[in-house]
Amino acid sequence: MLKNFDEVIEKVRSIEPFTVSVAAAADKELLQAVKAAADLGFVRPVLVGDAKAVGDICADIGLRPLDILPAQGEEEAVAVAVRAVKDGGAQVLMKGLVNTSIYMRGILNKEHGLRTGRLLSMMAVYEAPGYHKLVYCSDSGINVAPTFEQKKDILKNILIATRAIGLENPKVAALTANEMVDPKIQSTVDAAGLVEYARSGELGLPCVIEGPIAFDVAFDPHAAAHKKIDSKITGETDIVIFPNMEAGNIMGKSWIHLCKCRWAGIVLGATNPVILGSRADTPEIKLNSIALACLAARS
């Protein structure tokens, strides 16, 4: 169990360094985060893009990459960076100064990409003041209104990643507005279906999942007791499966801006962890996301 991102960094530093392939790497702020990870000893960067521009930035900030792979234009930069991962030369893919749609197309390319047959999904991880461990959440950034079949992939993706990170039998909350299955509220039907999916053995990954379950019951044993709900996960929830992207996005931003949560995010469902990121991300978010992706790459 990891309590915070300091422990994430500590854990990833105890493992052999990971090679991170950065697509369109001529971005000084991004490379400063990569340098921070390299200085901590857990990353060997392979930088793809305009070789002179990338080299100049590296010289300016004192970054010594494992390699600089030349590429002209965004599409070629993504293709070369993806190929480095696909060929086994790198374990993690990271987005640089490239349009998100071009980046995602390269990942999903049927012939040369990193497809697994599963849906891609976003995993956001939060360090919340007042909670005793990290909370792993999905999907708050890619799938707007996932169907039940898509939620099965979202659940599988996050269980694969968290198992690599170190959660052997995580407690999962299939989050909804209440604990009753209501045919008029599709998220409650889907949540109950995810519980059955896990219990049937079809999922093939260990977890203790409950749903439909409301947020208060998932995180507060007093709320569960007050509602007379016998929950095995209350107050110990590791993973939250959101009913839709809007719920996850709103909840995540509430945690970040009102509760001052530290957080990081990576994309799951490809052959290797993918860092999407945003230029608005702070250096700390970038560093935490790199560390998280490296731990998840152990799967």
My answer on whether 148 and 236 are in the same domain is: yes
How many percent of the chain have pLDDT more than 90?
Answer: 98
- Predicted confidence at residue 235, as pLDDT, reads 98
My answer on whether 82 and 107 are in the same domain is: yes
Question: Listing from the earlier edge strand, what are the strands of the sheet with 262-268?
Answer: 67-70, 43-49, 18-23, 92-95, 274-275, 262-268, 121-127, 135-138, 239-241, 171-175, 208-213
- Looking up tokens 């694969």 gives 160
- Looking up tokens 């039998």 gives 169
Contact 202, 134 (CB under 8 A): no
Please list, in sequence order, all residues whose beta carbon lies within 8 angstroms of the beta carbon of residue 145, skipping any fewer than 6 positions away: 244, 245
Residue type for 286, please?
K
My answer on whether 84 and 165 are in the same domain is: no
My answer on whether 162 and 256 are in the same domain is: yes
My answer on whether 128 and 111 are in the same domain is: no
pLDDT digits (tens, 9 = 90+) for 12-55: 999 999 999 999 999 999 999 999 999 999 999 999 999 999 99
In whole numbers, what is the pLDDT of the chain averaged over residues?
Answer: 97
Reported as half-sphere exposure (CB side, CA atoms, 13 A), residue 199 has a value of 9
CATH of the domain at 78: 3.40.50.10950
Backbone angles phi, psi at 241, to 5 degrees: -100, 115
CATH of the domain at 158: 3.40.718.10
- Domain residues for the domain of 149 are 123-262
Q: What's the whole-model pTM score? A: 0.96
Q: Which tokens hold the place of 283?
A: 């250096």
Banded pLDDT at 133 (limits 50, 70, 90): very high
- Predicted confidence at residue 248, as pLDDT, reads 98
My answer on whether 238 and 141 are in the same domain is: yes
My answer on whether 47 and 74 are in the same domain is: yes
- Predicted confidence at residue 278, as pLDDT, reads 85
Q: How many domains does the chain have?
A: 2
- Residue 72 clears pLDDT 70, i.e. is over it: yes
My answer on whether 111 and 15 are in the same domain is: yes
pLDDT digits (tens, 9 = 90+) for 202-257: 999 999 999 999 999 999 999 999 999 999 999 999 999 999 999 999 999 999 99
My answer on whether 130 and 156 are in the same domain is: yes
My answer on whether 129 and 100 are in the same domain is: no
How large is the average pLDDT for residues 151-179?
A: 98
My answer on whether 257 and 153 are in the same domain is: yes
Q: How far apart are CA 70 and CA 49, in angstroms?
A: 5
My answer on whether 92 and 212 are in the same domain is: no
